[in-house]
C-alpha cells in the first residue's frame, strides 16, 4: 500500500511541487497518475521511491513511514519496488541477460536463484530469444520490455513506471501497457505516470489527476481529460 498523509513538498528554489496531498493506493491496484508537465507527478513518484523527502506530512509504503527509515535501510526497502523509466536505462556494455541479472546481483541473490528468475522474467516479456543481444541491437520497444523484465525480476510488490511509453510509437506503447496489465493481474501494485491520453482512456483503470501540486480528480475507471464527476476513493 502507498499512502500520502497531508504531504507537501517545497524545493529549495521555492517551487511548491505538492501541496497538502492525501492519497491511498491499495495493494493490487493499477493507478494512472496524470497531469500536465510541472504538475507534481514526478515528485510524487520520487517520494514513493524515497528519492525525495516531504517538507511536511508522511509518506508510507508497505506499512513503513519513509521518513523514519535509516539510510542503511533504504536499499532493502527499494528491493520491494520495481522501477521503469522512459529512457530505459539499460547498461550498454551488458547483454540483455546480464542487464536483468545485474538487478539480482546488486541485492545479493544467489546464483541458483538468478539462473531461475532471469529466464522467467525474459519469458514474461516475450524476449527469451534476445538474451545474448546488447541494448544497441534492440528496438525501442524491445529495450523497454527488457527494462520491464529487469524491474520485475526480484518480484516487487509495487511497480512504478514514469512515462514508460513516452519514446515509443502507439502500437508498441500498447504492448507495454498490456504487459503492465498482466503484471497487475498477477498481484503487483502498478503505478504509472503518463501523458498518454489514449492509453489511459482505453484501459479504464483508476486515474489520479494532479494539477499545480494538488489532486484534482481521483476516479475508478477514469479518463485522462476533465469534465468527469469526482469519485473519491478512500483507503
Domain that holds residue 189: 25-42+80-219
pLDDT at residue 28 is higher than 60: yes
Q: Please list, in sequence order, all residues whose beta carbon lies within 8 angstroms of the beta carbon of residue 164, skipping any fewer than 6 positions away.
A: 84, 85, 86, 144, 147, 148, 176, 180, 192, 194
What value does the mean pLDDT take over residues 14-39? 94
Q: Does the residue 205 lie in any domain?
A: yes
* Pairwise CA distance, residues 154 & 143, whole Å: 18
Domain count, the chain: 1
Task: Read off the C-alpha cell for 32.
Answer: 494512472
SS3 162: strand
pLDDT of residue 170: 84
pLDDT at residue 50 is higher than 90: yes
Q: Does the residue 73 lie in any domain?
A: no
Q: Does the residue 55 lie in any domain?
A: no
Q: Does the residue 57 lie in any domain?
A: no
Q: Does the residue 85 lie in any domain?
A: yes
CATH number at residue 192: 3.40.50.300
Q: Does the residue 12 lie in any domain?
A: no
pLDDT digits (tens, 9 = 90+) for 156-192: 999 999 988 887 888 888 989 999 999 999 999 999 9
pLDDT at residue 235 is higher than 80: no
pLDDT at residue 54 is higher than 60: yes
Q: Does the residue 172 lie in any domain?
A: yes
pLDDT digits (tens, 9 = 90+) for 74-108: 888 888 899 998 788 899 999 999 999 999 998 88
pLDDT at residue 234 is higher than 50: no
**pLDDT band at 229; cut points 50, 70, 90:** very low
Q: Does the residue 59 lie in any domain?
A: no
Q: Please list, in sequence order, all residues whose beta carbon lies within 8 angstroms of the beta carbon of residue 200, skipping any fewer than 6 positions away.
A: 32, 34, 194, 207, 222, 223, 224
What value does the mean pLDDT take over residues 34-61? 94
pLDDT of residue 165: 86
SS3 160: strand
Q: With contact defined as beta carbons under 8 Å apart, do 84 and 159 qualify?
A: yes
pLDDT of residue 226: 54
Amino acid at each position: 500500500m502507498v499512502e500520502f498523509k497531508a504531504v507537501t513538498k517545497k524545493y529549495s528554489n521555492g517551487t511548491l511541487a505538492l501541496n497538502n496531498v492525501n492519497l491511498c493506493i491499495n495493494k493490487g491496484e493499477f493507478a494512472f497518475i496524470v497531469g500536465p508537465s510541472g504538475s507534481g507527478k514526478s515528485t510524487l513518484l520520487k517520494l514513493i521511491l524515497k528519492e525525495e523527502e516531504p517538507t511536511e506530512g508522511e509518506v508510507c509504503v508497505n506499512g513503513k513511514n519513509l521518513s523514519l527509515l535509516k539510510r542503511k535501510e533504504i536499499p532493502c526497502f527499494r528491493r520491494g519496488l520495481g522501477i521503469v523509466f522512459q529512457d530505459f536505462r539499460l547498461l550498454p556494455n551488458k547483454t540483455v541477460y546480464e542487464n536483468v541479472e545485474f538487478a539480482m546481483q546488486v541485492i545479493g541473490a544467489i546464483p541458483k536463484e538468478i539462473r531461475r528468475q532471469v529466464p522467467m522474467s525474459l519469458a514474461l516479456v516475450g524476449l527469451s530469444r534476445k538474451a545474448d543481444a546488447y541494448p544497441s541491437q534492440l528496438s525501442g520497444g524491445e529495450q523497454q520490455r527488457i527494462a520491464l523484465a529487469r524491474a520485475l525480476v526480484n518480484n516487487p510488490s509495487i511497480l512504478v513506471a514514469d512515462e514508460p511509453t513516452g519514446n515509443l510509437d502507439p502500437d508498441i506503447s500498447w504492448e507495454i501497457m498490456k504487459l503492465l496489465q498482466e503484471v497487475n493481474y498477477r498481484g503487483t501494485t502498478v503505478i504509472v505516470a503518463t501523458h498518454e491520453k489514449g492509453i489511459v482512456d482505453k484501459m479504464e483503470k483508476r486515474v489520479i489527476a494532479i494539477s499545480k501540486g494538488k489532486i484534482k480528480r481521483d476516479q475508478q475507471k477514469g479518463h485522462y481529460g476533465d469534465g468527469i464527476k469526482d469519485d473519491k476513493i478512500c483507503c
